[in-house]
Chain A
Amino acid sequence: MSALGPGPDGVVLPDAATAAPRRSPGVHAQLVVGALLVLVVVALALVSLVWTPYDPVRAVPADRLQGPSGTHWLGTDRFGRDVLSQLMVGARITLYVGVVAVGIGAVVGVPLGVLAGMRGGWPGTLLMRGSDVLLAFPGLLLAIVFGAAFGTGTTTAMVALGIGAIPAFARVARSGTLQVMRTDYVLAARAANRPAWAIAVRHVLPNIAGLVVVQCSVNYALAVLAEAGLSFLGLGTAPPTPSWGRMLQESQQFLGTHDHLAVAPGVAVAVAVLGFNLLGDGLRDVLDPRLKGVR
C-alpha cells in the first residue's frame, strides 16, 4: 500500500491523507483505546445474550420516562422500557449488521481485487471499472434502494451495506496484490511454473491480510453509522427489536425534557464508531509493512 490508504468513507485515498498520523507518537495508545472501546461494545452484546437488567421490549407504563436512577441506570423510555437493556440488545444488532456487511464486502471484494491485481490487462480494468460504478452508490443510498426494492429490515440493510463495501475491499486488495506481485519470491514462484491460484493462496493472501484487517475495521465503523442512520429513518431494524438508531429517533419527541433518551444511544454509536476507527488506525500502524523498519 505504498500509494494508497483507505479514507473515512472506506474509499481508497492518496497516501498523504493517511500517512502522517501513522508515524505520530502514541499509535499504540490508539490501538489499545480502540480495542478497549470495541471490547466494551462486544461485552455488552455478549452479556445481553444471557442477561439484561430488564426485558428490553416489555412495556411498563407505570415506569415511563424515568431519568437515570439506581433502579434504571440509564432511565426508561416512553413505554417504560429499560434503556440500558435496549442498549445492550442494540449492541448485538449493531455488531451483527457489521459482521455480515463486512463479511460480504471482504468475501466478494478481496478475491475480485486479488484477481484484478494478478491478471491485470482488460479483466483487471473491467473489475476495477465495475467497482468504480458501485462507488457512485454510497452505502446508505444502496441500502435505501434495496429497502425500496425488497422491503426494509435488518437483512436488507446488511446485504446492501455489504455490497456497498465491495469496492473498498477490492481496491485495497488490488493495490496490495500489485505490490506483492512485484516481489522476488512471486517472480521465483512464477518462474517455477506455480499455478496462479497457488501463488494467490501461498503468497498474495497472507501478505495482504494486514491491509484487509484494517479495511474490515474501517468498514465496520461505517456499517455501524449506516445502520444507525437507516434505523433512524425507519428503514433498518424493525420494532420491537431495539436498535440504537431508532432509540435516537424516538428520543426526538422528548428533547429538552428527557435528553437521556438521546444521549444514551448517541454515545453508544459514537463509542462503537470511535472504537473501530481507532482500532483501524492502530492496526494500520502495526500491520503496515513499510513501518516495521521504522519501529
Chain B
Amino acid sequence: MTRHLLGLVAQLLATLVVATVLIFLVLRVLPGDAAVVALGLNATPEALAQWRALHGTDRPLLVQYGEWVGGMLRGDLGTSFVTGRELTPLVADRLQVTLILVGLGMLLALLAAVPLGTLAAVKHRSPWGTVIAGASQVGVAIPNFLVGVLLVSYFAVRLGWLPAGGWTPPAVDPAQFWRHVILPVVALGTVQAAIVTRYVRSAVLEVMREDFLRTARAAGHTRGSALVRHGLRNAGVPVVTVVGVQLAAMLVGAVVVERVFVVPGLGSLLVDSVAQRDLQAVQSIVAVLVLVVVVVNFLVDFLYTVLDPRLRVAAR
C-alpha cells in the first residue's frame, strides 16, 4: 500500500514537472519575444529593452523557468506583465470563488445523480427508468452556459427572484452570497448531474448482476438492503472516477459559467488575461489549474485502492 502510494506521488510530481515545462514552452518560448507580445510590433528598441529588463525576460530561458517554478514553490506566482500587480493574492481570491462554485456544483450534481441513477438502474424496466435515462442523455448534450442563459432569462429577468449576475463573498453577507450563488451553481450542477446519473445508473446495473449481490439476497437481504450494504460501495469505484474526471472538467468549464453570471472567479481572470495577452498571468493561472486537476486525479487514483480491496491487494 505504501509503495503504491509512493508510486502515485512520484507520478504526480513527474506530471507536474512535465506540465510546467510544457506551459512555459507554449506561453514563453513559442510566441517569441514576450516584450513584443506585450508592447506590439511598433515599440521602440529602447522600450523593448526596458520592458525585458523590468520583467527579467532578457535572462536565459532556463533561468526564467527555474525562477518561475522556484517562486511557485514558495507561493509566489510572479507579477502581471500588464498591470504589474502581484498575482498570488489575486489568484488566491479568484480560485476561492471558483472552488466554491465547483464544490457546490458537484455537491448538487451528486445529491441529484446518486438517487436518480440508482432509481434508474433499479427500475430500468419501468417507464421511470427510461425517463431518467433519456433525460440524462439529453442533459449531457446541453452546454452549461446555455442552462445559465436560460436560468437568467427566467429566474432573474422574468421573475426577478434572483440576481442575474455578480458576487458577494460569504463572509461579507451570507444571505446575498446564497442569492448570487444559486443560479451559477445550478447551471454548473445540472449538466454534471446528467453526466454522473448515467454513470451511477450503469455502475449500479453492473453491480446488480454480480454474484455477491445474489448471495446477499439468498442470505435473506431485501433487494434494497443488499444494494445499500454491498452494492453501492462496489458501484462507487467507477462513480469516483467520473466524479474526479468531471471535477477537473468543471474547473475549466466554470470559466464559461463565470462569464455568464459575471462571477469574479479564476476562469474570468484567465480569459481577461488572454484578452490582454498577459502571458505571465496566463502561465501562472494555467499552472494553478493544472495543479488542481493533477491533485484531483491523484486523489481519485488513491481512492480506488481505499474503495476496492482487490486493488489494494494488487498494489501490495
Indicate, yes or no, whether A interacts with B. yes
Q: Report which A residues bind B (CB closer than 8 A).
A: 7-9, 11, 13-21, 24, 129-130, 132-133, 135-138, 140-141, 144-150, 152, 221, 225, 228-229, 232-235, 248, 251-252, 255-256, 259, 262, 266, 269-271, 273-274, 277-278
A/B interface sample: 15 pairs, CB < 8 A: A7-B242, A8-B199, A15-B206, A16-B237, A20-B202, A21-B198, A129-B11, A136-B19, A138-B249, A144-B271, A234-B275, A235-B274, A256-B157, A269-B146, A270-B143
Residue of A at shortest CB range from B294?
Answer: A136
A140 near B255 (CB under 8 angstroms)? yes
- Segment of B84-92, B94-102, B148-156, B221-229 engaged in the interface with chain A: B148-156
B31 at the interface (CB under 8 A from A): yes
In the complex, which of the residues A14, A248, A262, A271 has the most CB atoms of chain B within 10 Å of its own CB atom?
A14
CA distance A248 to B153 in the complex (A): 12
A266 near B27 (CB under 8 angstroms)? no
A248 near B146 (CB under 8 angstroms)? yes
Given the interface pairs A136-B293, A233-B255, the reply to whether A248 lies near B242 with Cβ below 8 Å is no
User: Quick one: CB contact mask for B1-28 with A, threshold 8 Å, 1 for yes?
Assistant: 0000000000100110011001100110
**Main secondary structure on B side of the interface with A:** helix
CA distance A137 to B260 in the complex (A): 23
CA distance A255 to B149 in the complex (A): 8
CA distance A255 to B146 in the complex (A): 12
Residues of B close to A129: CB separation below 8 A: 11, 14-15
CA distance A274 to B194 in the complex (A): 13
CA distance A149 to B26 in the complex (A): 7
Residue of B at shortest CB range from A134?
Answer: B22
B253 at the interface (CB under 8 A from A): yes
Residues of B close to A19: CB separation below 8 A: 202, 206
Of the candidates A9, A24, A149, A266, the one whose C-beta lies within 8 Å of that of B30 is: A149
Smallest distance from the beta carbon of A67 to chain B beta carbons, Å? Answer: 15
Residues of A close to B249: CB separation below 8 A: 9, 138
Residues of A close to B252: CB separation below 8 A: 138, 140-141
B279 near A229 (CB under 8 angstroms)? no
A16 near B149 (CB under 8 angstroms)? no
CA distance A269 to B158 in the complex (A): 24
Of the candidates B15, B146, B253, the one whose C-beta lies within 8 Å of that of A132 is: B15
B273 at the interface (CB under 8 A from A): yes
B140 at the interface (CB under 8 A from A): yes
Smallest distance from the beta carbon of A249 to chain B beta carbons, Å? Answer: 8
In the complex, which of the residues A141, A252, A270 has the most CB atoms of chain B within 10 Å of its own CB atom?
A141
CA distance A233 to B156 in the complex (A): 21
CA distance A19 to B142 in the complex (A): 23
Of the candidates B124, B152, B260, B279, the one whose C-beta lies within 8 Å of that of A148 is: B279
CA distance A24 to B133 in the complex (A): 11
Of the candidates A11, A16, A150, A229, the one whose C-beta lies within 8 Å of that of B245 is: A11
Smallest distance from the beta carbon of A98 to chain B beta carbons, Å? Answer: 14
B256 near A232 (CB under 8 angstroms)? yes
- Segment of B41-49, B167-175, B282-290 engaged in the interface with chain A: B282-290
User: Quick one: CB contact mask for B261-276 with A, threshold 8 Å, 1 for yes?
Assistant: 0000000001101110
Residue of A at shortest CB range from B234?
Answer: A16
CA distance A129 to B19 in the complex (A): 12
CA distance A147 to B259 in the complex (A): 17
CA distance A277 to B260 in the complex (A): 25
Residues of A close to B138: CB separation below 8 A: 270, 274
CA distance A11 to B238 in the complex (A): 13
Of the candidates A24, A152, A233, A252, the one whose C-beta lies within 8 Å of that of B124 is: A24
CA distance A269 to B124 in the complex (A): 29
Residues of A close to B164: CB separation below 8 A: 255
Residues of A close to B22: CB separation below 8 A: 133, 137
Smallest distance from the beta carbon of A234 to chain B beta carbons, Å? Answer: 7
B68 at the interface (CB under 8 A from A): no
B248 at the interface (CB under 8 A from A): yes
Residues of B close to A269: CB separation below 8 A: 141-143, 146
B241 near A136 (CB under 8 angstroms)? no
A150 near B253 (CB under 8 angstroms)? no
B186 at the interface (CB under 8 A from A): no
CA distance A136 to B251 in the complex (A): 12
Residues of B close to A274: CB separation below 8 A: 137-138, 140-141
CA distance A8 to B197 in the complex (A): 12
Smallest distance from the beta carbon of B157 to chain A beta carbons, Å? Answer: 3
- Given A9-B246, A232-B259, A270-B146: 12 more A-B contacts, CB < 8 Å: A16-B207, A24-B124, A132-B15, A135-B297, A138-B248, A141-B289, A149-B27, A229-B143, A255-B149, A255-B164, A274-B140, A277-B137
Residues of B close to A24: CB separation below 8 A: 124, 133
B277 at the interface (CB under 8 A from A): yes
